[in-house]
Amino acid sequence: MGRRLGLGIALGIVVAGCSAARPPSAKLATADVAIHEAEDAGAEARAPGELHMARDMLERAQRAVDDEEYDDAYRLAEEAWLAAQSAEAKANATRAREEADEAERALDALHDDEAAPIRPPY
Give the model confidence (pLDDT) of 10-58 as tens digits. Answer: 545 544 555 558 999 999 999 999 999 999 999 999 999 999 999 999 9
CA atoms of 36 and 55, how far apart (whole Å):
10
CATH code matching the domain that covers 23-113, chosen among 3.30.70, 1.20.1270, 3.40.50, 2.60.40: 1.20.1270
Residues 90-103, mean pLDDT to the nearest whole number? 94
CB atoms within 10 A of CB 52: 14
CA atoms of 93 and 80, how far apart (whole Å):
20
